[in-house]
Homo-oligomer: A and B are copies of this chain.
Amino acid sequence: MDARIDDDGRVLTLTTGDATHRFHAIWLRDNAQDDETRAPGNGQRLISLRDIPADTRITDVSVDGRGVTVTFAPEGKDVLFDPGWLSRHAYGSGAGRPRGWIADDLTCWDAGLQDDVPVAPLDELETRGPALKDWIEQVAAYGFGKISGGPVAEGALFRVVDLFGYVRETNYGRLFEVRTEVNPTNLAFTGLGLQAHTDNPYRDPVPTIQVLYCLESSAAGGENMVVDGFAAALRLKDETPDFFDVLANHCARFEYAGEDGVCLTSRRPLIELAPDGELIGVRFNNRSLAAVTDVPFDRMETWYAAYRRLGEIIDDPAMEVTFRLEPGEAFIVDNTRVLHARKAYSGTGTRWLQGCYADKDGLRSLRDAMRRQSQEAAE
């Protein structure tokens, strides 16, 4: 490895074989991993940027078997860097990614997933072994998964949440009953079919995970369907880039005020991008879309045409995975990405699901902690 100080000590250039990485002095100093900069136990940074001189520069660098040692002025501080860590954290390579790029660890899908839906028995997942690791990896990748073999017991859905996180309680309660009600506060509590949708787009932040757990299922109809909203958004972009852009560039509005004392509103786009164009969220819910007032007049018809086409894509059977939940079965969706639907069902027989919300930070955290654990075990 060759190490060179450039630009009067403002830049370190590291060359290993064909790979060249450049790091700024201020970035290196801020990311030092020594015990004075980072708390040894919990890894949190102990200093603020205000503790690092603004004119920080590199005065010396040396490479040996321990790693790359960098000397920073004016502190006169030596810091040892791990070359592997540096190459994994090299920056600036993301430039030029297309608008709508998705994270490497996500896999888009369509009806072809029908026979490969991630599914595992609840009690096996609860042993917290390889079955959980596999299932969590797949749920994170697809934004969707099933659970089988659970008890037919009220509240059993919380055992699903306990696998990875915590219930997000809302005005609907810690859990909500999905069955036909006489005076429904929400159309979900009727026998009507529901177009594929994400839940609670009128909430900000939306619940990022939904669990639906089946307790009774003897009614005709009522099948569940799921659609990958990221796949749908990217198909829209493929077909008509301007449709993707108009939905990403302007906020829609959502509202739910169906109960006394509740008036939930949000202002967010149907297709949400990070500042560098990463596709990070989809909202789609005809029932709670409020009057859209943040689209310029001369773009409103295009916005509606795009919204219509996105709906057609979502309704396309080629996009959907369909299944019928039996009592003791459940499914989980990433509610920022995967839409769910149900077919209408009739009054003969019963259909009873319990639902609850949770958040996906816990799911991703568990996945990454299990990855780290198996990596450490392998080392």
Contact = CB atoms under 8 A, between A and B. Distances in A.
Interface string A256-276: 111111111111110001111
Which of A187, A295, A297, A362 has most chain B Cβ within 10 Å? A297
A250 B268 contact: no
Contact of A276 (B47, B171, B294): B294
Contact of A251 (B250, B264, B275, B368): B275
A89 B311 contact: no
Contacts of A17: none
A275 B250 contact: yes
| Copies of the polypeptide in the assembly | 2
A91 B205 contact: no
A111 interface: no
Interface residues of A, number: 98
A218 interface: no
A74 B177 CA distance: 39
Given A92-B296, A92-B297, A275-B251, A27 B286 contact: no
A170 B168 CA distance: 10
A169 interface: yes
Contacts of A268: 274
A24 interface: yes
Contacts of A255: 43
B41 A258 contact: yes
18 contacts: A22-B297, A26-B301, A30-B304, A31-B291, A41-B183, A42-B257, A42-B259, A50-B195, A50-B308, A94-B296, A168-B359, A203-B361, A205-B206, A250-B275, A251-B274, A262-B365, A263-B371, A264-B364
